[in-house]
Amino acid sequence: MSTKFEQLKEIMRRLRGPGGCPWDREQTHSSLRPYLIEEAYEALEAIDGADDQKLAEELGDLLLQIIFHSQIAQEDGRFDIEDVIAGIIEKLKRRHPHVFGDKKVKDSRDVLIGWERIKQEEREKKKGSSILDGVPGQLPALLKAHRVQEKVSRVGFDWEHIDQVFAKVEEELAEFRSAYRKHHREQVEEELGDILFALVNLSRYLETSSEDALRRTIDKFIARFKYVESALQRQGLNPKEVGLEAMDKLWDEAKSRESGKHLKGGNTSQGNR
């Protein structure tokens, strides 16, 4: 273990110990949950921004959360950071027989299939387990849908051709329209969920991330709308004081300023514009 790592462990022990930080000493696994999620998302933001300095900082914050949780568990005599590290070392070696053993693989898909087979063998030792047990319940819905579909695809439960996926999206859209016309509120919500699930399946089949795609679209929408707000502000106007036509014109200006991007038509009143 590096000296810096040992120093980090010692700092956390001191923060949690007698005479340490009152806030740090009060924390529990449950109270730290929001910070673990927040730090993970901030690391993702740094990756999206291709900011190495920020990424190093955010990974440090994420590492701190791991050290924090391990210290709390150590104080209760349950496990410590050494157990955490030993566990992941053993798991990595067990799940990579093509690296640490004599198993042969052809490509990354072969690796994933083998990985799922190894995990299935691990689950079979636990009565009543499922291949979906490893999907965290707290994942964002789009990411969770992707992980569920990805896992079942590794055991052969998947579409054979992308045309089938497109057909499923169209089928779900038709069922949604039918439910909407009948004013069945609960069914509308259910069918909307089916549409989203089918679209995630499409993105997975295309080897893209629906979570990342939607986040980029949201960021694009925010940037364009902020342009609209700024332009109106320079004219001494408020969005509430102008009509949709005026905002549409400014929205089109915002799109035209985006270099290297494919310009899409459409009215701003139609969702993503």
**Closest by Cα among 87, 40, 86, 98 to 64:** 40
Between residues 110 and 90, which one has the greater pLDDT? 90
Residues 237, 231: Cα–Cα separation, whole Å: 9
Low-confidence winner among 12-16, 56-60, 72-76, 138-142 (lowest mean pLDDT): 138-142
Rounded to an integer, the average pLDDT of 121-141 is 79
The reported pLDDT for the residue numbered 1 is 53
Q: What is the largest CA-CA distance in the chain?
A: 71
Candidate ranges 19-33, 36-50, 91-105; pick with highest mean pLDDT: 19-33
Tokens 């079979």 locate to 124
Domain boundaries, the chain: 3-93, 95-124, 158-205, 210-256
The answer to whether the CB of 233 falls within 8 A of the CB of 210 is no
Rounded to an integer, the average pLDDT of 245-268 is 72
The reported pLDDT for the residue numbered 15 is 97
**Closest by Cα among 98, 68, 100 to 84:** 68
271 has pLDDT over 70: no
The reported pLDDT for the residue numbered 14 is 97
Query: Per CATH, which fold does 3-93 belong to?
Result: Helix Hairpins (1.10.287)
pLDDT band at 114 (very low <50, low <70, confident <90, very high): confident
**Which residues, 6+ apart, have CB-to-CB distance to 273 below 8 Å?**
221, 224, 251, 255, 264, 266, 267
pLDDT band at 229 (very low <50, low <70, confident <90, very high): very high
Between residues 14 and 121, which one has the greater pLDDT? 14
135 has pLDDT over 90: no
Helices (H), the chain: 3-16, 22-26, 33-48, 52-75, 81-94, 97-100, 108-124, 141-153, 162-181, 185-205, 210-234, 244-256
The reported pLDDT for the residue numbered 270 is 47
DSSP string covering 234-265: HTT--GGGS-HHHHHHHHHHHHHTSTTS----
Residues 205, 25: Cα–Cα separation, whole Å: 47
Rounded to an integer, the average pLDDT of 71-98 is 94
**Which residues, 6+ apart, have CB-to-CB distance to 150 below 8 Å?**
204
**Buried/exposed code over 34-72 (b: 16+ C-beta within 10 A; e: otherwise):** eebeebeebbeebeeeeeeeebeebeeebebbebbbbbb
pLDDT band at 52 (very low <50, low <70, confident <90, very high): very high
| Percent above pLDDT 90 for the chain | 60
The reported pLDDT for the residue numbered 259 is 56
202 has pLDDT over 70: yes
**Which residues, 6+ apart, have CB-to-CB distance to 263 below 8 Å?**
255, 256
**Closest by Cα among 26, 67, 17, 61 to 42:** 61
Which pTM value belongs to this model?
A: 0.63
Rounded to an integer, the average pLDDT of 186-192 is 94
